Amino acid sequence: MSKYSLLINGELVPGASTMHVINPATEEVLADCPRSSEEQLNEAVQAAKEAFPSWSQTKIKDRKEIVSKIADIVEANAQELAQILTEEQGKPIGDATGEVYGMAAFCRYFASLDLPVKVIEDSDGRKVEAHHAPLGVVGAIVPWNFPLILLAFKLPPALIAGNTIVIKPAPTTPLSTLRVAELIRDVAPPGVINVITDLNDLGAALTAHPDVRKISFTGSTATGAKVMAGAAGLLKRITLELGGNDAGIVLNDVDPKEAAPKLFNSAFQNTGQVCIAMKRLYVHEDIYDEMCEELASLANETVIGNGLEQGTKLGPLNNKMQFDKVKELIEEAKSDGNVIAGGEVPDQPGYFIRPTIVRDIEEGSRLVDEEQFGPVLPVMKFSDENDAVERANATQWGLGGSVWSSDLGRAYALAEKMEAGTIWINKHSELDPTIPFGGSNQSGLGKELGAEGLEEFTQLKIINMAKA
């Protein structure tokens, strides 16, 4: 087994204890990972605090160069990082490789941005400027479904804005982050980048730490509410990218054979473990039967297995807790609807579930009402477009949604009525570092990506100067 270390104040250090990281494809121990104590968390925050004054005064040009170097290092070690990612997360090696290169690309995008001073007024009497000032120490809490790409939502903009950072990866997928930390330990000054780990027992301490000025959190809505409550006492900044129950609406002018592969991939990418995966599908009654048949055929043809094996399309779920939850939802759905593909768990090690299509199911079923975060798609029938939109909007979440039609005007009119942070037309779950991303309702607060995502790591400072 490879040896992993925490990164605190520029030093690679062992944890106060260790914890097992499990390969979800085999259920075997992949590595003994360092586990931080609260004392080590405090040391990491203190290191970040002490590094902040100097780092915040470093020219943005130099900070951007460091982020670009991080991109270069990640890319140069893509093969190794992808293998670690597949082994700890479960996704196919091709998808893991894409995620590693995606992290590098996101770093380079943020390194292309600036935080220019805006002159609000320059008159005879005064000059007023708006500056984007850094916040201080940022706490970054990263989930297990996309450990590296979601790290790239947080690390590069935090650094470019002039903040220092303490990163806490998920306990089931800490290894790729720790390896990145080891590779980049000498790129930035000591204390600027710190990585600690836990068994989900240090999140509250990080969130409530008096020296942490912002929390950037990606994860479940329930945990996001706890983060918000923990940050409230000190009125610290938060960005929350939380759960979703994205709906897709397919109109009757769509060719099922042509659209089905796109819909399937939108729902089942990363074994359905995507916050913006399509999790509910509404199909017009005119094409409902044919669409269900096409989706079922695709599900039955899909190769599942160890992500390191050639030909694997879908890997396992990442952890036993999620595995058990999805199994439970499928069992309930068998009585609530008609399972036309999948629904079974292969008799083999690993947290595998066949991609599952459930038709003739309605709202009120847990599979429809909850975020399943797994390889299961409920497909529902509608006859009236406005009714479909009302049903799609009848949820506590509002992360993403999509409308599918050969008539773009018709699709656009429905998209305007859907309530979510991002509405796609004739596609779903597309992310681009240049486009702001965030949810509405209980899917989150704030924006990530784009220039707006960079500005989230700053505070607006106004300089108002009188002219004699």
How many CB atoms are located within 10 Å of the residue 347 CB?
6
Whole-structure pTM value? 0.97
Question: What is the location of CATH 3.40.309.10 in the chain?
Answer: 246-425
Alpha-carbon distance 278 to 223, whole Å? Answer: 22
pLDDT at 385: 97
Alpha-carbon distance 13 to 21, whole Å? Answer: 18
Write out the catalytic residue numbers: 241, 275
Helix spans in 269-422 (H): 288-301, 320-336, 366-369, 385-393, 408-417
Q: What is the pLDDT of residues 190-239, one digit of tens each?
A: 999 999 999 999 999 999 999 999 999 999 999 999 999 999 999 999 99
Q: What is the pLDDT of residues 436-463, one digit of tens each?
A: 999 999 999 999 999 999 999 999 999 9
pLDDT at 213: 98
pLDDT at 19 over 60: yes
Secondary structure (DSSP) of 277-300: SEEEEEEETTTHHHHHHHHHHHHH
pLDDT higher at 397 or 1: 397
User: Which phi and psi angles does 422 have, rounded to 5°?
Assistant: -135, 130
Alpha-carbon distance 418 to 426, whole Å? Answer: 14
Q: What is the pLDDT of residues 42-90, one digit of tens each?
A: 999 999 999 999 999 999 999 999 999 999 999 999 999 999 999 999 9
Residue 83 buriedness (CB in 10 A; 0-12 / 13-18 / 19+): middle
Question: What is the location of CATH 3.40.605.10 in the chain?
Answer: 6-242+441-466
Return mean pLDDT, the chain.
97
- The CATH class, in words, for 6-242+441-466 is alpha beta
How many CB atoms are located within 10 Å of the residue 207 CB?
24
The dotted CATH code for 246-425 is 3.40.309.10
Q: For residue 2, name the pLDDT band (cuts at 50, 70, 90).
A: confident
User: Which phi and psi angles does 424 have, rounded to 5°?
Assistant: -100, 155
Secondary structure (DSSP) of 52-106: HHHHHHS-HHHHHHHHHHHHHHHHHTHHHHHHHHHHHH---HHHHHHHHHHHHHH
Helix spans in 135-286 (H): 147-151, 155-160, 175-184, 203-208, 221-232, 256-268
Tokens standing for 371? 């975020």
